[in-house]
Amino acid sequence: MSTAEAAPPMIRASAVNKHFGDLHVLKDINIEVPRGQVVIVLGPSGSGKSTLCRAINRLEPIDSGEIAIDGKPLPAEGKALAALRADVGMVFQQFNLFAHKTILDNVTLGPVKVRKQSQADARKTAMELLERVGIANQAAKYPAQLSGGQQQRAAIARALAMKPKVMLFDEPTSALDPEMVQEVLDTMIGLADEGMTMVVVSHEMGFARRAAHRVLFMSDGEIVEDADPDEFFTAPKSERAKDFLSKILTH
Amino acid sequence: MNVIIENFPLYVDGLLRTLQICAYGFVGSLVLGTILGAFRVSPVAPLRWVGTAWVTVFRNCPLTIVLFFCAFGLPEVGINGLYFWFGVTGLVLYTSAFVCEAVRSGINSVSPGQAEAARAVGLNFGQSLSSVIMPQAVRTVIPPLGSVIIAMIKNSAIVGAFGVGGDLFAVGQGLASAQGKAALPVLTGVALGYLVITIPGGLLLGILERKVAIAR
Ligand SMILES: Nc1ncnc2c1ncn2[C@@H]1O[C@H](COP(=O)(O)OP(=O)(O)OP(=O)(O)O)[C@@H](O)[C@H]1O
Ligand SMILES: [Mg+2]
């Protein structure tokens, strides 16, 4: 049986470069993320982690190279891109829930508008998802009425409602009060255990040790290390990674 | 003040005519201005250029000049019709530029994270504009839009003066110059006529503003 080997990687970035003016933020990035893998992206501030995440669903255009999701190269702006984006769920540091819509409507908007599901079907799925992330009782409220942790779980439900192939998380717990971090991490661990392909920018060591299959360490726009989590945390190879780890582990 | 009472039906006709001009002007400039506002933030560069050019031209030209071009320019290129429609067209062209800017500033007041989340969910530009951005922009658009609309109502006097005729301003003109009535009382009547439109309009806007403020 060679179907697993024949399947394309879920995410493939080849020779990706990106500049902001003179600043070279992504330098010749080459990665392949197989289906079901959970990748943690680490690195100092400004190293390009967010930009990489955003490039993967083309919220940020790249200058050169190619990014493919499940074997399909990301098209330029337009209909095809919107469709492909729907396959990639994204969770933001600031949640970015639609402020004028209830939690339930936040979750159903994409399925109804993009997947053309009926309101009734979308609501049913949305309630199941909200149940799963533990905030079904908040469905009728507006985002501003929820705690940060609840908002972030709603944002995860909103992304999952599109039945994405990949989930991207850009520092999903950085804007949360410490007591709410775990509830969001638990939700993410649940997803990882179910086999979701995930790219997670996070400095949460607990999550990395518990759920990650792989660590990418970025510095100055380059992937400096691409390693097994245990290996990376116990014996980082590069000076830059050692330096970085010594800083975050003392915090 | 007898002149107002004696010519009351004339004033009422003028008021209705002004209301008519304003109603067409309101609907036309709201629709056109919103489309242009969307152009100005569109990912398609030529649409942005059209929006910018429109605003630059019509916001910086005196209304009288715009009306002049409509009344004398449109027939030149083979478009004929009633002066009334030329007047309304000029008013819409002019006012839409201001509506466009109010809409654009409203769109810009919505945090960029909202548009990003909408795109990340897979909505296209039109969908994110109509389902996510515009509903949130309305709150900030209404106060400046109110000023634009009140200015438009007052500007309708210029449309009247331009020969559309029959509106409040033209009624005043007729009474004062053609019939030789004392100008001050006649114009007091005209002013009252405008206030009858603009003051309730302003109150309505206030109510609307409070309504969208709570709807959250
Ligand atoms: N829109 C932009 N315009 C110009 N420069 C940008 C833009 N976005 C990011 N940058 C710059 O690109 C570099 C990489 O940014 P990025 O946000 O990807 O870093 P990061 O690794 O996510 O950092 P952090 O840990 O602080 O979130 C930074 O130097 C940043 O200042
Ligand atoms: Mg970042």
Q: What is the mean pLDDT of residues B61-66?
A: 93
Q: Tell which of B42, B109, B121, B211 to mutate to test the A interface (max A CBs under 10 Å).
A: B121
Of B116, B122, B215, the CB nearest to A110: B122
Q: How far is A165 from chain B (nearest CA, A)?
A: 13
Give the range of the structural domain holding residue B23, as residue numbers without chain letter. 2-212
pLDDT of residue A1: 44
Whether B121 and A142 lie within 8 Å, measured CB to CB: no
What are the helix and strand counts (H, E) for chain B? 11, 0
Q: What is the mean pLDDT of residues A59-63?
A: 91
The answer for residues whose C-beta is within 8 angstroms of residue B88's C-beta and 6 or more apart is B21, B24, B25, B28, B159
Q: What are the helix (H) ranges across B42-174?
A: 45-60, 63-68, 74-76, 83-109, 112-121, 125-128, 134-159, 168-173
Is the pLDDT confidence value at B10 over 90?
no
Contact call for residues A159 and A90 (beta carbons, < 8 A)? yes
Is the pLDDT confidence value at A251 over 60?
no
Is the pLDDT confidence value at A127 over 90?
yes
List of chain B residues whose C-beta atoms are within 8 Å of the C-beta of residue A110: 121-123
**Which of A10, A24, A13 lies closest to A66 in space, CA to CA?**
A13
Structural domains of chain B, count: 1
Q: How confident is the model at residue A122 (pLDDT cuts 50, 70, 90)?
A: very high
- Structure token digits, residue A215: 């660590």
Instruction: Please tell me if the CB atom of residue A9 comes closer than 6 angstroms to any atom of ligand 1.
Output: no
Q: What is the mean pLDDT of residues A87-112?
A: 96
Contact call for residues B190 and B171 (beta carbons, < 8 A)? yes
Atom 26 in ligand 1: residue holding the nearest Cα:
A45
Q: What is the CATH number of the domain that holds B53?
A: 1.10.3720.10
Task: Name the closest ligand to CA A92.
Answer: 2
pLDDT of residue A83: 79
Whether B113 and A94 lie within 8 Å, measured CB to CB: yes
Number of Cβ atoms within 10 Å of the Cβ of A149: 22
Q: Is A45 helix (H, G, I), strand (E, B) or coil?
A: coil
* Longest pairwise C-alpha distance within chain B: 69
Contact call for residues A232 and A225 (beta carbons, < 8 A)? yes
Is the pLDDT confidence value at A4 over 60?
no
Helix (H) or strand (E) holding A227: strand A222-227
Give whole-number Cα distances, B5 to A228, B2, B10, B12, B186, in Å: 92, 5, 10, 11, 10
Is the pLDDT confidence value at A45 over 80?
yes
Residue B207: phi, psi to the nearest 5?
-65, -45
Q: Which atom of ligand 1 is nearest to the CA of A201?
A: 22
Specify the range with the lowest mean pLDDT, choosing from A98-112, A177-191, B77-91. B77-91
Q: How many angstroms separate the CA atoms of A140 and B23, rounded? A: 38
Contact call for residues A91 and A176 (beta carbons, < 8 A)? no
